[in-house]
Structure 1
Amino acid sequence: MRKRSAVLISVSASLLAIITAAPALAAPSADTTVTFGVTAGTLDITAPAGPVALGSASPGGTMSGQLGAVSVSDTRGGDTSNWTASVFGTAFTVGALTLPVDVAAYWSGPATATTGGDTFTPGQLTAADAITLGGPGTPLIAFAHTGGTGGSTATWNPTLVISVPITAQTGTYTGTVTHQVA
């Protein structure tokens, strides 16, 4: 019986050593449900306020220059992110003198930056694609985005080419170029 007690004490001591040396069991898990909302943003366009000086040319000559970065930001968060930016201008005046808006041609050029998915399309990719600028009733497509979801942004630096009529009188003419997006 003594031998048996010694064996039981030895086995008990060994089990105790194993139990106390065993790693602790992990605590049960606890889940937390998290919610958040995504709200609709806006569709906006920005362009340089100017004035942008394009230089000068004699009657019958031409001049051109970039207007500066024009950017569209679509944060509406819809299932499609379609938009079209358009451009139009006004007549160019100095005092009582006026040159019609159609002395100006516009080309958007390629995007300088974009975010979002799917297709970004310039209205006029190259100088060869330049189009005569129309008035408020005849806007031109400057840039467009189709497809994608959520939001998108695009920036481009359009060029304006002025063809000075041979009948133009001297002076510094001023007009407005307006970009809009829908």
Structure 2
Amino acid sequence: MAIQRSQPRSGKTPTTSPLFFHEIDELDDEARRSADYEARQSSRRWETLTKLGEDLTRPEKKRLDKAKELQGKMKEYQEALLQARTIQLSGPSDRVLSAFRDYLGGEAREGSGLQSAPIISGRAKDMLNKEDGLVALREVVDEDIFSILLRNHWVFQKRTTLDPLDRTTMYKGQHVVWTVAQLAWCAPQSS
């Protein structure tokens, strides 16, 4: 999946001043202390606040505007948070990227006797060539080089499909972990 890594629109995480929250608190306090029953009810029920906020002469209009402004700030914050998390994701492995490129570029058909034809054409055909815009949507696991080597060249793989274009093979990742653990245990320890 291609996701564009970019900075938040403003270039930094959105902030809200304490004065903004102070204004909201004061408006809420005024409504609670009000002699007007509907004003007090507007603090308890969103529906009442929105109904009274339609009247430009009522104080609820200002409270409703502040609530909408806060909602916008929260949305902006959520977007910035999502972008920050996306930036932290690592790119896909070379093996996965190569498999996708072969499949989408039509090279996967070459060994099967079928005519080679790309699956995606036009401007989108080069989407996998820009590696800085790609992320792997998986949990990052700290792996050593030996585990990666074994995983990429694991002998005990099996195919579960009859599709000649699907070169996917399956193996149990736990077997790689066990093998690395056994070899580490058997390896001479330096003192």
State the structure with bigger RCO (CA 8 A, min sep 6), 1 or 2.
Answer: 1
Q: Which has the higher helix share?
A: 2
TM-score category (smaller protein): under 0.3
Query: Which protein has the larger Cα radius of gyration, Structure 1 or Structure 2?
Result: 1
TM-score by length of 2: 0.16
